[in-house]
Amino acid sequence: MTAEKRPLTLRLCEPRGFCAGVDRAIQIVVLALKKYGSPVYVRHEIVHNKYVVEGLKARGAVFIEELEEIPAEHADKPVVFSAHGVPKSVPADAQARNLFYLDATCPLVSKVHKQAMRHSRLGRHVVLIGHAGHPEVIGTMGQLPEGDVTLVETEAEVATLDFAPETDLGFVTQTTLSVEDTAGVIRALQERFPHIQAPAAESICYATTNRQEAVKEAAPGADFFLVVGAPNSSNSRRLVEVAERAGATRALLVQRESEIPWDEIGDISVLGLSAGASAPEIIIDEIIQAFRARYDVTLDVVITAEETENFPVMSALRDVELTNADMAFVNGSV
């Protein structure tokens, strides 16, 4: 006789997982492989997710960190720039090497680039709120000459800024930050520099905001909250912080079902589950099935927004058909 499974309410956040920018970036690599064959080179992880990267490698993508890694005999092969965006020096380098490149930068990241350039064009020094070393931050800072952008990570750092009183300032933010944390830094900047100019539009992307709002709704009273995402995924790490602030007893970031610490979970009755913007739905399915095997699961879908955004791929790839089978490795079977 099998032991009776404990009841578990699984609060599944919606929206979760892939945003339109991530979906587009992965589609670009898949379509480039279909059109041009292997290898297709990808500079940096196309998105911050090991499962996605390994899946694309298996299909013939070759991941590199610098363009100089592309062999001379493959100069005619496509190289894709990641969704996080790149400094202006990278496409310039590609042109100098006569490389054929496809830029998969998320359109919302490109919007931040344009906001920074607009501040600069209007004579303002740019303050970028973001995390040092993140590819998106490197790309945004690289839109302007060195020294024209100052990075700020925390409210405390605002007090250390030493701008001359007459300096015109404008700020932009990394797209994947915590809404609350960013609001605090912006408030500190505006208090210290009342003349600082905001960007023409919100920098934090809709997907980041929507995923955080869904987690806030699902977290109160949750005994455990799982966020699917990579350790180097900024928006995924922020979801863990949001879950704990919103009332989850414990929140944890995992990349796969195999990372779930089953012996630590204990006798829980409410589980929250979400995924960062670069985490594929197939892993969510994997985790739900793992909990169904151990608990008597009641699924409670927490819906806070409906996302209809779709970012089309570049015209060079629109003549290639993208099928459900092409994307099944991340979306699961349809």
Give the residue carrying structure tokens 């899946």: 55
In what order do the strands lie in the sheet containing 6-14? Answer: 251-254, 224-228, 270-275, 6-14, 295-303
CB 33 within 8 A of CB 10: no
Told to judge if 136 belongs to the known catalytic residues of this protein, a careful annotator would answer yes
DSSP-derived secondary structure letter, 302: E
What whole-number distance in Å separates Cα of residue 137 and Cα of residue 149?
A: 10
Angle at 73 between CA 70 and CA 77, to 5 degrees: 65
Indicate the SS3 state at residue 275: strand
What whole-number distance in Å separates Cα of residue 114 and Cα of residue 137?
A: 14
Backbone angles phi, psi at 330, to 5 degrees: -115, -35
CB 263 within 8 A of CB 222: no
At position 157, the amino acid (one-letter code) is E
Q: Which residue of the set 14, 45, 136, 257 is catalytic? A: 136
CA-closest candidate to residue 287, choices 298, 273, 301: 273
Q: Which residues are catalytic?
A: 136
